[in-house]
């Protein structure tokens, strides 16, 4: 089957940027929110189960009618395709402010539910008439102690657009416009970064140096941006009463704080595993000392190219082997133009999947025809499948925790990676094993090293007020050395990678990669042993946020509260390294 489209078809949302339906939808959102406010602002809907049940049904109906923030979303997506599209950026900001203002009118609703006295909360949670809303109510009650007054919450929502959103988008725009000269041709920095691993040693190091130079040249803006958004978070954390910089993220992700602290502690404790890998990595590259650019280098070239058509065939076939419905979802995305495939100047770097409400889900790639591109496609389609299977749930459960999201994506990536072995020669299979371990090390150890960097960065800024760009770079370099080991020479210039590391603007989001990878390894092993386990995987993918991550995985036989669970996963990576050491002798 030939793919139909390789660029986003944003007409799935609106015909064009002048579509009159945009303004109609904005007015609809504003009108519905105003009507809901009028009905419930002074109503005593928390006084009884009957009244609360009726109010929650109305809230659910409101969410279905609003159907996501469609006008803002359309222009936000356009901006992701072209950072130079000033009209898209302006409209996204303007419409976001209108939608936020409308949403402010109904923000009182959950906040008033949060005020239900603790002695009465159990009664509401265990009443059969509120059964379908039980977990939604539990989430509200857990957040209650950190809620501010209704006027304060409304002001925070409005100011987040300027005090956080516009800073981060500004940095993304600056970065998206940067290029380097490679073989007498200007290429986007984002593309240069993605192709580093496959370049010959000398070229790789030269390109990394050029990327570092670009990062340093725009670091003055990133310095101001990081200090602004980190101080913004400091103010909010202090006002809300969060004790640790990562507490709000862990609560928002519906994880247990002790579980995540245990995860970070264990991975940091086992940095010896990642250091062992990089010593072997250096040996396989025939280098005594590595540069920062070499950490992601391949040990040999996988000659086989995977253009997008080939990649799609592999992903489709693998998905069908798990369950045909997954292949069908993929084909629908290809047919409808829900995947934007190739890199170009101004387009956002990396890859992501973005979906909300009943709207079409979109996947962004920067496909460069290498084996990593196939795995990235599988990864992002894992997110997309998770999103699609969550859509039949009530609106309050259609979204899902970020830590759960990374389980879905990495599971599908691992299944496709396993399938890729059949397309490779014997020597290339060794390269693939190396790359698999390298990916695990990056996803788990590198991301936890980044978590540790973020934590110290927050602490330093909170203590000193702000940090210079060189201090931030030194800090990042220190934490990268911690997991890479002495065999990798990490310079202060490498530390300027903070300029383009988008995840550090999302406040400790990175731990979800390590969490997701270790849980998905367990899913993958269970599925390999028994293909009937696919039903359990579908159960997880269809759960949305209807339960906590712990309960979702506990229901399919995985206990993340067990102190040995993450440790077992880490030791399995060490076994993979030992296998590679044996094969490479």
HEC string of 500-565 equals CCHHHHHCCCCHHHHHHHHHHHHHHHHHHHCHHHHHHHHHHHCCCCCCCHHHHHHCCCCCCCCCCH
Task: Judge whether 16-168 and 308-423+518-552 match in fold.
Answer: no
User: What tens digit of pLDDT does each residue of 513-561 get?
Assistant: 999 999 999 999 999 999 999 999 999 999 999 999 999 999 999 999 8
Contact 357, 395 (CB under 8 A): yes
Q: Which H or E run contains 403?
A: helix 402-420
Out of 154-158, 269-273, 492-496, which region has the weakest mean confidence (pLDDT)? 154-158
Residue 349: per-residue pLDDT:
83
Q: Which H or E run contains 419?
A: helix 402-420
Q: Which residues contact 565 (CB under 8 A, 6 or more apart)?
A: 518, 522, 558, 559
What letters, b where the CB count within 10 A reaches 16 and e where it falls short, cover 259-287? bbebbbebbeebbebbbbbbbbbbebeee
State how far the Cα of 126 lies from the Cα of 139, in Å rounded to an integer. Answer: 14
486 phi and psi, to 5 degrees? -70, -20
Residue 316: per-residue pLDDT:
97
Residue 352: per-residue pLDDT:
94
Report angle CA 540, 542, 548 to the nearest 5 degrees.
Answer: 55
578 phi and psi, to 5 degrees? -60, -40
Residue 585 above 80 pLDDT? no
User: What tens digit of pLDDT does each residue of 423-437 get?
Assistant: 888 888 898 999 899
Pick from 356, 500, 339, 364: nearest CA to 80: 364
Grouping H, G, I as helix, E, B as strand and the rest as coil, residue 363 is: strand
As assigned by CATH, the class of the 308-423+518-552 domain is: mainly alpha
Pick from 236, 504, 450, 502: nearest CA to 247: 236
Q: Which residues contact 482 (CB under 8 A, 6 or more apart)?
A: 268, 271, 449, 452
If pLDDT is split at 50, 70 and 90, which confidence band does 87 have?
very high
Report pTM: 0.83
If pLDDT is split at 50, 70 and 90, which confidence band does 301 have?
confident
Contact 315, 416 (CB under 8 A): yes
Residue 2: per-residue pLDDT:
54
**Per-domain residue ranges of the chain:** 16-168, 181-235+257-302+429-506, 308-423+518-552
Residue 3 above 70 pLDDT? no
User: What tens digit of pLDDT does each residue of 253-278 get?
Assistant: 999 999 999 999 999 999 999 999 99
CB 353: neighbour CB atoms within 10 A? 24
Q: Any idea which architecture 16-168 has in CATH?
A: Up-down Bundle (1.20)
User: What tens digit of pLDDT does each residue of 389-422 get?
Assistant: 999 999 999 999 888 998 999 999 999 999 998 8
């Amino acid at each position: 089957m030939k793919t139909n489209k390789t660029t986003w078809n944003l007409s799935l949302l609106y015909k064009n940027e002048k579509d009159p339906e945009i303004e109609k939808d904005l007015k609809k959102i504003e009108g519905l929110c105003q009507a809901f406010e009028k009905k419930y602002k002074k109503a005593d809907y928390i006084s009884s189960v009957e009244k609360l049940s009726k109010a929650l049904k109305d809230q659910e109906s409101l969410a279905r009618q609003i159907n996501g923030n469609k006008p803002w979303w359309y222009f936000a997506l356009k901006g992701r395709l072209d950072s130079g599209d000033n009209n898209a950026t302006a409209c996204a900001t303007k419409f976001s402010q209108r939608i936020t203002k409308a949403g402010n009118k109904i923000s009182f609703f959950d906040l008033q539910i949060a005020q239900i006295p603790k002695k009465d909360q159990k009664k509401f949670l265990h009443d059969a008439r509120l059964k379908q809303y039980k977990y939604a109510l539990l989430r509200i009650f857990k957040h209650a102690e950190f809620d501010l007054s209704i006027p304060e919450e409304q002001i925070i929502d409005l100011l987040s657009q300027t005090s956080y959103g516009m800073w981060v988008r500004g940095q993304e725009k600056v970065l998206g416009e940067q290029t380097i000269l490679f073989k007498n041709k200007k290429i986007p920095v984002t593309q240069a970064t993605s192709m580093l691993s496959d370049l010959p040693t000398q070229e790789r190091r030269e390109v990394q140096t050029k990327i570092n130079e670009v990062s340093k040249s725009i670091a003055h803006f990133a310095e101001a941006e990081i200090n602004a958004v980190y101080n913004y978070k400091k103010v909010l954390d202090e006002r809300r009463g969060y004790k640790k910089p990562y507490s709000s993220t862990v609560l928002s992700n519906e994880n247990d704080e002790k579980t995540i602290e245990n995860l970070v502690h264990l991975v940091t404790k086992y940095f010896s595993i990642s250091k062992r890998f990089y010593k072997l990595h250096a040996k396989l590259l025939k280098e005594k000392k590595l540069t920062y650019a070499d950490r992601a280098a391949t040990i040999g070239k996988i000659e086989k190219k995977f253009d997008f058509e080939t990649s799609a065939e592999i992903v489709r076939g693998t998905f069908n082997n798990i369950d045909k419905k997954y292949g069908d979802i993929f084909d629908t995305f290809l047919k409808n133009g829900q995947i934007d495939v190739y890199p170009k100047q101004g387009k956002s770097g990396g890859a992501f999947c973005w979906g909300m409400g009943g709207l079409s889900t979109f996947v962004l790639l920067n496909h460069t025809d290498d084996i990593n591109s196939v795995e990235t496609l599988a990864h992002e389609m894992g997110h997309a499948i998770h999103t699609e299977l969550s859509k039949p749930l009530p609106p309050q459960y259609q979204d899902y925790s970020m830590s759960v999201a990374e389980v879905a994506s990495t599971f599908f990536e691992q299944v496709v990676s396993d399938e890729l072995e059949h397309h490779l020669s014997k020597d290339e299979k060794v390269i693939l094993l190396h790359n698999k371990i390298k990916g695990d090390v990056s996803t788990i150890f590198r991301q936890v090293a980044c978590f540790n960097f973020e934590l110290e960065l927050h602490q330093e800024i909170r203590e000193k007020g702000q940090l210079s760009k060189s201090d931030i770079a030194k800090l990042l370099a220190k934490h990268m050395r911690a997991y890479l080991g002495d065999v990798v020479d990490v310079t202060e210039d490498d530390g300027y990678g903070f300029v383009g590391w988008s995840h550090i603007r999302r406040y400790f989001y990175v731990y979800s990669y390590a969490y997701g990878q270790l849980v998905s390894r367990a899913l993958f092993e269970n599925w390999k042993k028994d293909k009937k386990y696919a039903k359990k995987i579908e159960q997880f993918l269809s759960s949305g946020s209807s339960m906590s991550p712990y309960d979702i995985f506990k229901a399919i036989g995985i206990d993340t509260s067990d102190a040995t669970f993450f440790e077992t996963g880490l030791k399995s990576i060490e076994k993979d390294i030992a296998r590679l050491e044996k094969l490479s002798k």
